[in-house]
Amino acid sequence: MRRPSSIVMARLVRAMTIWRIPGRRNHIENRSNREDIRMIFNSYVFLFGYLPIVLTGTFLLARIGATAAHIWLILMSLAFYAAWNAAYLPLLLGSIVFNYAVAIHMTRTGSDANRLWLLRLAVTANLGLLGYYKYTGFFLENINTAMSTEYTWQALILPLGISFYTFQQLTLLADIGAGRIKNIRFRDFLLFVTFFPHLIAGPIVHHREMMPQFQKADYRLNLENLAVGLVLLSIGLFKKAVLADGIADHVTPIFQDAASGKPITLVFAWAASVGFTLQMYFDFSGYSEMALGLARMVGIKLPMNFNSPLKALSIIDYWSRWHITLTRFLTAYVYNPIALALTRRRVARGKQGLAGPRTTWRAFMAIVALPTLATMFLSGLWHGAGNQYLIFGLLHGVALVVNHAWRLARPWFWPDTAHYQRITWPVAWLLTFLVGTLALTWFHAASVAAGANIVMGMAGSHGFAPSAMIGPDDADLSVLAGHGGELITFYLWIAVLLGIALIPPNTLEVMRSWQPAITMPAAAPRRPGFTLSPRWAFSTAVLAVAGVLSLGRVSEFLYWQF
Amino acid sequence: MDHPTIFSQLTELFRDVFVDSALVLTPDATADDIPGWDSMTHITLVAAAEYRFGLKFRIVEIEELTNVGDFVSLIERKTCDARDQIK
């Protein structure tokens, strides 16, 4: 981390002029042929160019009036989006104008039936657009394989953040459909969708969470908001640039080896699998904290998206802590409708619903298993157009069903819940962690074959140690095979990151008294938390500087591809 | 239907779903206070309440029912709406 300042300056200048980055994964690489330019949270141009301009502009315009600042934030958010690929700005704007037109018609129509009809139209159109960009290639490929046909297609570049801005608008239309929103101004709608901290990768926010804030905010410089925002931004940046990108250097080569068909041995397979879980966690949790911080600087709070998911003691608990706003979205708009329809049918026929340990097998299948599997299947499909993502989704689906079945059945033979939890929590943690890790291995694999390669490696089918890969005849040594030292470094990274993820309270818990997010973790912190003091200023500055110095190689957030 | 009636009927319904005849509800009891109240049993509760009170909840209403008090007020509002429509 220690570098002479001249080198740092040179890198800074270089990074300011060259901010194209190569894709990380095969289907991103397809896209990077295009001349796309990325201005992401963890880039010099964002942190030292864009952000100061946005903040200065907002605070100065707020002196004229909140409306001026509000409009400035919309324009700057659109500029932020256009900096990635201006060609897709019209698509974003088109989507917004279409959905706003539907929204206005929905608020004006007097009849529930018309509103529902409009909502269905909008849902179809939005999902159609999303499906077109995300799945055309995937479906043609599967049809080609299944029917031995040879359809060809032009690889589409997935418009940045299309999933998130689509979901964002659907939540709003659903609220209007329920008659909960009576009218909405165009500029409020615009900021609700495009607000740059959450535009690209969430959190997926609700109208009721954001609109009152947008309307009340005066957008003036508020030192407390700025300080709290900067702290969140610095911690998030550190997590992303130092921790996630640091371990990624060890994770990526193994996944690349797996994709190219080299058998991955046990020690590497486990390191890659657990290593990627940690990379993903620090990447996305870092992003989410940066988003919280950026919004807070202009006085806006976003909902919590992560709550130490790796501490979860069940897979149900895991999903209530990992990507919380997506879980909330899927529960509300996918799981609930399916489960409710099935339960209504049962109740209407006089059949039993869930009834604790007395739940019948059929009730469990209809009310829990079927909707859970369907939801997680769709979640897998949403995460990526590839069969390995379906495996990711179904693994979680099956684990959730088993978890729910166990919850219902366990009291039969171990009635004392407190005693049960006290005795079995280490097993519960390990099982949860393993399921999460195994699922993420598929998630990150370039293909089903690559995923199977690593998972078989974890099971020991490809031998135990790296020495299995270093044969005298083997001229094409794996990057890692000859480097025992690198493997030790990798395991050290894993140990340290696992410690950080598991032991200390998380950022939101530490900063609880400053209300860093709209929704907060339930547990109260044991030790005194963050204060506006020199000690905390210094620690935060260290994190920020370490984060900025690690930005030489700008890497995109894993979730920006959805 | 008035508040106390809804409250007592809802208590009965919770007791059925959670198989706990001694369950006592308070208006601000949340899922954290009642063992077994998770996203799955929530749906059963909602469907059972729909059937008992003869109404239908909307998808967006369901996710907002975070405590017993919300449940009671929503049922109260919806039964009132239904009565107004009949008039």
Strands (E) across A333-463 are located at: none
Handedness of CA A546, A547, A548, A552 (dihedral sign): positive
Give the chain B residue nearest A327 (alpha carbons): B39
Residue from the list A340, A355, A368 with its beta carbon closest to the beta carbon of B19: A355
Query: What is the pLDDT confidence band of residue A38, given thresholds at 50, 70 and 90?
Result: low
Q: Find the mean pLDDT for residues A327-340.
A: 88
The residue type of A552 is G
Contact B62 A174 (CB under 8 A): no
| Domain ranges within chain B, ordered by starting residue | 3-21+29-86
Q: Which residue of B has its CA nearest to A363?
A: B44
DSSP state, residue B30? B
**A383 carries an active-site annotation:** yes
Chain B: closest CA distance from residue A217 (Å): 25
The active-site residue out of A207, A323, A383, A404 is A383
Please state which of the ranges A104-118, A285-299, B15-29 shows the lowest mean pLDDT: B15-29
Instruction: Quote the pLDDT of residue A80.
Output: 92
Is B16 within 8 Å of A316 when comparing Cβ atoms? no
Which residue, chain included where needed, has tokens 């309307």?
A215
Buried/exposed A481-490: b ≥16 CB within 10 Å, e otherwise: beeeebbeeb
Q: Is A273 helix (H, G, I), strand (E, B) or coil?
A: helix
Chain A positions touching B85 (Cβ under 8 A) are: none
Q: Is the pLDDT of residue A553 over 70?
A: no
Q: Which residues of B touch A178 (CB under 8 A)?
A: 58-61
Beta bridge partners of A355: A357
Structural domain spans, chain A = 15-221, 244-289+307-496
d(CA B18, CA B38): 11
**Residue of A327, A340, A360, A368 to mutate, testing the B interface (most B Cβ within 10 Å of its Cβ):** A340
Q: At A400, which amino acid appears?
A: L
The residue assigned the tokens 């200065």 is: A56
Contact check, Cβ <8 Å, A174/B60: yes
What average pLDDT does range A143-153 have in this prediction?
A: 70
Which residues numbered 33-72 in B keep a CB inside 8 Å of some CB on A? Answer: 35-36, 38-41, 43-44, 46-48, 50-51, 57-63
Asked whether this complex has an ipTM greater than 0.85, the answer is: no
- Chain A hits for B48, CB-CB cut-off 8 Å, are 347, 353
Does residue A97 carry a pLDDT above 90? yes
What letter would DSSP give residue A244? I
DSSP-derived letter for residue B32 is T
- Helix or strand run (H / E) with residue A497: helix A484-502
Q: Which tokens go with A283?
A: 């990447």
**Amino acid identity, position A491:** Y
Within 13 Å, how many C-alpha atoms sit on residue A407's CB side? 24
Nearest-CB residue to A337 (from B41, B48, B59): B59
B62 and A340 in contact by Cβ < 8 A? yes
A320 vs A492: CA distance, rounded Å: 29
| Mean pLDDT computed over A500-529 | 82
Distance CA A154, CA A150 (A): 13
A56-60, A292-296, A552-556: range with lowest mean pLDDT: A552-556
User: A220 CB contacts (<8 Å, ≥6 apart)?
Assistant: A59, A62, A63, A299
- Residue with tokens 């029917």, as numbered in its chain: A147
The predicted pLDDT at position A484 comes to 65
The pLDDT, as a whole number, for residue A552 is: 66
Chain B residues closer than 8 Å to A330 by CB: none
Q: What is the pLDDT of residue A152?
A: 64
Q: Which range among A234-248, A329-343, B58-72 shows the weakest confidence by mean pLDDT? A: B58-72
pLDDT tens profile A183-201: 888 999 999 999 999 988 8
Q: Does a cis peptide bond (omega within 30 degrees of 0) precede residue A263?
A: no
Nearest CA in chain B to A174: B60
pLDDT tier at B13, thresholds 50, 70, 90: confident
CA-nearest of A205, A186, A192, A182 to A115 is: A182
What is the gyration radius of the CA atoms in chain A, in angstroms?
A: 24
Residue listed under structure tokens 């393993």: A434
How confident is the model over A369-386, as pLDDT tens digits? 999 999 999 888 888 778
CA atoms within 13 A of residue A75's CA, in its CB half-sphere: 12
Which is more confidently placed, A127 or A22?
A: A127
In this structure, are residues B44 and A342 in contact, taking their beta carbons and an 8 Å threshold? no
- Per-residue pLDDT, averaged over B9-15, amounts to 86
CB atoms within 10 A of CB A34: 11
Neighbouring C-beta atoms of residue A290, cutoff 10 Å? 27
pLDDT at A1: 35
pLDDT band at A360 (very low <50, low <70, confident <90, very high): confident
Residue A430 phi, psi dihedral angles, 5° rounding: -60, -45
Name the percent of chain B in helix, strand, coil, to the closest 5: 60, 0, 35
Could you tell me which of A516, A13, A527, A554 has the C-alpha nearest to residue A290? A516
CATH of span B3-21+29-86:
1.10.1200.10
**Length of chain A as a residue count:** 562
Residue A109 has a CB neighbour count (10 Å cut-off) of 14
Minimal C-alpha gap between A428 and chain B (Å) = 18
Q: What is the rounded average pLDDT of the residues A318-346? A: 88
Q: What tens digit of pLDDT does each residue of A406-446 get? A: 888 888 888 888 888 889 999 999 999 999 999 999 999 88
Q: Chain A contact for B27, CB < 8 A?
A: no
- pLDDT for res A466: 61
Considering only alpha carbons, which residue of chain B is nearest residue A407?
B36
Please name the residues in contact with A69: beta carbons below 8 A apart, sequence gap of 6 or more.
Answer: A57, A58, A59, A61, A62, A218, A219, A298
pLDDT band at A9 (very low <50, low <70, confident <90, very high): very low
Residue A120 sits at φ, ψ, to 5 deg, of -60, -40
Q: What is the pLDDT of residue A230?
A: 94
Distance in angstroms (rounded) separating the CA atoms of residues B50 and A124: 28
Closest CA to A402 of A428, A440, A438: A428
B67: which strand partners? B30
User: Half-sphere exposure of A283 toward its Cβ, with a 13 Å CA cutoff?
Assistant: 20
Cα–Cα distances (Å) from A495 to A264, A389, A436, A489, A499, in that order, read 21, 27, 17, 10, 6
Taking 3-state DSSP, the helix, strand and coil percentages for chain A, each rounded to the nearest 5, stand at 70, 0, 30
pLDDT for residue B67 is more than 50: yes
Q: Residue A476: which pLDDT band, with cuts at 50, 70 and 90?
A: very low
Q: What is the pLDDT of residue B69?
A: 87
Q: Tell me which chain B residues have a C-beta less than 8 angstroms from the C-beta of A401.
A: none
Whether the pLDDT of residue A48 is over 60: the answer is yes
From the list A178, A407, A417, the residue facing B60 with the nearest CB is A178
Question: What is the rounded CA–CA span in Å between residue A444 and residue B69?
Answer: 44
Between chains, do A332 and B63 touch, taking CB under 8 Å as contact? Answer: yes
Q: Do B63 and A417 touch (CB under 8 A)?
A: no
Q: Which of A331, A354, A358 sits opposite B44 (nearest CB)?
A: A354
At A139, give phi and psi (nearest 5°). Answer: -70, -40
Q: Which residue has the higher pLDDT, A502 or A466?
A: A502
Token pair in block for residue A208: 């009721």
Between A89-108 and A162-177, two packed helices, what is the crossing angle to 10 degrees? Answer: 0
Q: Give the residues across from A357 on adjacent strands.
A: A355
**Is B53 within 8 Å of B75 (Cβ atoms)?**
yes
pLDDT of residue A431: 95
Q: What is the pLDDT of residue A30?
A: 35
Query: What is the reported pLDDT for B60?
Result: 77
**Neighbour count for residue A36 (Cβ, 10 Å):** 18
Percent of chain A with pLDDT over 90: 38
The pLDDT of residue A483 is above 80: no
| Partner-chain contact B36 A356, CB within 8 Å | yes
**Best CA proximity match to A209, nearest among A164, A171, A179:** A171
Burial of residue A257 (CB within 10 Å: 0-12, 13-18, 19+) is buried
Average pLDDT, chain A: 82
Distances from the Cα of A308 to the Cαs of A383, A502, A516, A523, A540, in angstroms? 21, 7, 15, 12, 20
